[in-house]
Amino acid sequence: MTDVSGAVVEFISTSRRRVDQLLADLEHRQDPVGLYGPVRHILQSPGKRIRSLLTLSSAALYDAPERDAASIALAMEVFHSFTLVHDDIMDGAEERRGRAAVHVKWDDPTAILCGDYLMGLSMELVSDVESPRRRELTRRFLATVRTLCEGQIRDMQFEREMDVPLRDYMQMIGQKTAALLQTSCVLGALLGNAPADDIERLEAYGEHLGLAFQIQDDLLDVTASQPTWGKPVGGDLVTGKRTWLLLRALEVTSGPERSWFQRILSNGLHPDEVPEARQRLSATGILDAAQKAVIFHSEAARSHLEHLPKRLERDVLHQLTVQLERRVH
């Protein structure tokens, strides 16, 4: 697909608006405001809604009931919000989607409870479907929770290690980032009783999409502009976070150049040093290599769509991949 049809654009924009409205319509108690204020703060923050879009597209591809598809799509978005709230605590991140992180606007205990509530709400939304495959849907969702926790603890352990192979990093982001994109696709397809082969294709699609997404995230942390990025540019370098760029740099450099990057793992960078880091990453070819990795996994993702039913929703999944590959935030 080279030309983007008006129907594809309309499906994506309409679905995003629908998810935003569903999030706004979620019923939360007013009291205690100390809990539900933070919940509304994170759920009503602007986002790409990629996980819910994947669910709605995959479900529509197999004519799944719209009510069930909406419930699962909402569950994916709510669960993703839970992971963001808790990730920001663990990472010490101060901003999220251009707004103060929940633990900054309130405090850590409040953010933990906010995340716990969102986790419970996502499980409630999954259990609310009327599909005869509800048990299978629930088991897959809960297995993803376990996978994400495993990925998160690996990410945290990496922060204490000075020698993290890039292959281990890729395994970690497969668990922490790609797993939820995979499940967003698979649950939608399960709702529509998709053939087993198609479910496997969508799972592979989601895996490569997630890997491309995270590498692109690592790249944008260095190259994005502040207004579009929504958080401090170079934040990962300042904190010494292990990213695709930094680990790749340690693999391909040597001598004083490698020592310079190694220092980031130990102490991070001063914000004033971020431009120098960007220049070094560019000069050593790391930025170009990261972009090539994004393209590789994006193309791999699209290849798994080729044998799915030739319908509008397949083109939507294709276009979502293109949008993520070209995103600037």
pLDDT at residue number 72:
98
- Give yes or no for a contact between 59 and 18, defined as CB atoms under 8 angstroms apart: no
- Give yes or no for a contact between 320 and 1, defined as CB atoms under 8 angstroms apart: no
Domain membership of residue 63 (yes or no) is: yes
Residue 49 and residue 55: Cα distance in Å, rounded?
10
Whole-Å CA distances, 213 to 148, 207, 271 = 16, 10, 25
**Residues facing residue 95 across a β-bridge:** 100
Tens digits of residue pLDDT in 223-244? 987 656 667 789 999 999 999 9
Domain membership of residue 306 (yes or no) is: yes
Its domain, for residue 16, covers: 6-325
Looking at residue 131, which CATH number applies to its domain?
Answer: 1.10.600.10
Domain membership of residue 134 (yes or no) is: yes
Domain membership of residue 234 (yes or no) is: yes
What token pair was written down for 236?
A: 């990962």
Total domains in the fold of the chain: 1
pLDDT at residue number 2:
46
DSSP letters, 277-301, are HHHHHHHTTHHHHHHHHHHHHHHHH
Confidence of residue 56 (pLDDT cuts 50, 70, 90): very high
Report which DSSP code applies to 175: I
Please determine, for residue 260, whether its predicted confidence score (pLDDT) is greater than 50: yes
Domain membership of residue 1 (yes or no) is: no
Torsion, Cα 316 329 174 194, to 10 degrees, reads: -10
Burial 113-152 (b: 16+ CB within 10 A, else e): bbbebbbebbbebbeebebebbeebeebbeebbebbeebb
Closest alpha carbon to 138 in 92, 84, 90, 72: 72
Closest alpha carbon to 78 in 17, 18, 126, 150: 126
- Give yes or no for a contact between 188 and 57, defined as CB atoms under 8 angstroms apart: yes
Q: What percentage of the chain reaches a pLDDT higher than 70?
A: 98
Tens digits of residue pLDDT in 161-194? 999 999 999 999 999 999 999 999 999 999 999 9
Q: What percentage of the chain reaches a pLDDT higher than 90?
A: 88
Domain membership of residue 211 (yes or no) is: yes
The verdict on pTM exceeding 0.85 is yes
The SS3 of residue 100 is strand
Report which DSSP code applies to 272: G
Domain membership of residue 65 (yes or no) is: yes
Confidence of residue 1 (pLDDT cuts 50, 70, 90): very low
Torsion, Cα 152 157 162 163, to 10 degrees, reads: -70
**Other residues' Cβ atoms within 10 Å of the Cβ of residue 15:** 20
Residue 213 and residue 216: Cα distance in Å, rounded?
5
Residue 264 and residue 276: Cα distance in Å, rounded?
12
Domain membership of residue 13 (yes or no) is: yes
**Residues facing residue 99 across a β-bridge:** 96
